[in-house]
Structure 1
Amino acid sequence: MTEHVDSYYAGSANPHQPWPELTEPLECDVCIVGGGFTGISSALFLTEAGYDVIVLEAARVGWGASGRNGGQVVNSYSRDIDIIQARYGKETARMLGNMMFEGSDIIRQRIDQYSIDCDYRPGCIFAALSQKQFRELRDQEALWKRHGNDQLTLLDDVTIRQEIATDRYVGGLLDRRGGHIHSLNLLLGEAEAVRRHGGRIFEQSAVTRVEHGNPAKIFTSKGQVTARYVIMAGNAYLADRLLPGVSRLNMPCGSQIVATEPLTPDMALALLPNNYCVEDCNYLLDYFRLTADNRLLYGGGVTYGARNPVSIDAIILPKLYRTFPQLKDVKIDYRWSGNFLLTFSRMPQFGRMENNIYYMQGDSGHGITLTHLAGKLIAEVLRGDAERFDAFARLPHLPFFGGRSLQVPFTALGAAYYSLRDRFGV
């Protein structure tokens, strides 16, 4: 049995009924491989539209990145619309710009529609560590406002200290259209909604192979599914053999997180008075927030190639204490890592194999919002409207330098270069 890692999320998950293992042959309209946010969001949109859906999860629902992330509901993409326009043209930028805040809207709508208890709190701060980063936030504010986000406030060196009890930042941008959540509880609530709509979810049911055709056949060790459509939604945990030829265009990367013991209400309020989540503007960024029981959840750093670090504390605690030296005597209750999927362009990787097998992955650090948008887009495709899905599917993707064998050292070298630029503010 493959269970959730020992994280804050698993330790505070809402009680829920587990899903069975697939042990028989079944048929459906759509078979989804992966029980994370991409798979469950897709299943929910499709079951709401009347499709017969089966989800196959190799471990537990939310076992991968969807149940291990920082819980930050961050808008837009890992590359902003000005860069997208420069690289891909005005029409692509227009279409992606019209969708850049849709993922967070979907999350709030799901929480309200299905009364999901996931500790949602509005407000996300992008924090600048240099004047160069602060100038970039000014540009981001203007850009996002042009695309319809009117819930932004620029913070100067005084007002940001009123929001975050540290002297590290010279300014920031508050996005009230973002926020933070207990990500595993959001996912479990959405999975329960899939169940209520008649969708079938199977855990401990790793897919061993897919037989292409119309219909397609999806095999596990104890059963099989025959489906008109297949959606590959395993992201960083999807076996290479299930998407041959695509894995060279992306790379699994690890992120590390710790959660402190519960702080006193006064201490928690002193750190983040308005309970906004925060991420800084560095290339290898830090991110943090308070949980519902007043723990500080702090993450950052990247291990390329999805390697488990020797010591999570050695990576994260110096960052945490540099930001909040007042927490040096606070106990760390949880520490864990998880993988996300990075593309060379930092843009999501959507596509289709033949006419009935689709994939959506490579959110490159913006997975919570993009996965919810992806679920809506795949439902549109199967209903006959592929325009918005294809705006992503047409994005060109290049392989990492060095191929599979050398992509890790080359990428780490590039990250070191950009980290030096961050350090010196250039």
Structure 2
Amino acid sequence: MTTDGQGSAKERVSRRKVFGLGAAGAATLGAGMVAANTLLDEPPQAHATSTSDPFPFYGEHQAGIVTPAQDRLHFVAFDVTTDKRAELVELLQEWTAAAARLTQGKEAGSYGAVGGAPEAAPDDTGEALGLPASGLTLTVGFGTSLFDDRFGLARHRPAPLTDLPKFPKDQLIPEISGGDLCVQACAHDPQVAVHAIRNLARIGFGKVSVRWSQLGFGRTSSTSRAQSTPRNLMGFKDGTNNLKLEDSGLLRDHLWAAAQDGSPWMAGGAYLVTRKIRMMVETWDRTSLAEQEQIFGRNKGEGAPLGKRAEFDPLDFAAKGPDGEPHIKSDAHVRLAHPSSHADARLLRRGYNFVDGSDGLGRLDAGLFFIAYQRDPRKQFVPVQMGLARNDPLNEYIKHVSSALFACPPGVRDGGDYWGRTLFEG
């Protein structure tokens, strides 16, 4: 093992016997390495050029964070049911091997849905046969509960991975909060995203169980300047001033964890906060346009700051209207969430709309599945959300029902690497 905890690809694969396949796998090490590194039929692209194309799986950072946000989401949180560390590591190795295939439009296992023995269960569920990669990305995170005494990880728990405080007005449901592991599947085709999660859950049978999951549609943030700003279910543009993949300096300072932060195994990773925010859309829909715009601090059509004309016009909190009052009120959402209100705290948002049917009173169970990545939630998400929870008039129309925090490790470097290797072998 090298001093930086990575080692060569050959060393890493030989230590773990080719993704846990034991002596038989070790006997085919050379062939396994070739196969792992030639999953693509052509060289990986830096960016997908259409909604059908794949994104690269290997890299310094996990895909699905700064990757241009896709249209669909299937997010799942798992509880680990095994108490054996070796089985957890083996699962992460198997998941990584499957993810490397799935994200390139291939089936989860080498025999696929129909290529194995008829008397054996297929190693792919088959519902994505014939579908392209559709920009699928799979992103893994480790929850605070994974760092208990089951797997010897307590001493490796990063300081930023601390349970979030209870925010004013939270109405959290424990059954759809937290989790030992998470997988975020984003794609342009919902069937591709669902297929990926279904197959990872199938591979994890006996080692993990699904704690909760969430389907999402209609991204509510832009993570690239090439993307237009989308709208949330309240009809407003969402995430205008989001961090973007082109903001390399800001990403270094506000997104990616670094070795000097205190947990070297997280270098190149990021911390993920999820919040399921139900919107009282029926009440909102009866609110006047003027009040809606005052609550957000932007106009509904263009998304421009009040008093300005265009979406990306700079916010001017000192500007006043003819009546002498500020165009943007002191408790407007855009002011309360602005970095200037929280020591320059910035987030990379990657949320999605959701509609989960209706409740017993005929009201839509709909809202925002909020996703935000950052370098340290204690300095970023927590102060921003605390300010919003205490003062945002939008709270009259929303309620937070689910919450989770995960440490997303750095990317998988090559075919001999796996999700979480820096934690388990570093």
Normalised-by-shorter TM-score class: under 0.3
Higher helix share: 1
State the TM-score, normalizing by the size of structure 1: 0.26
Structure of higher CA gyration radius: 2
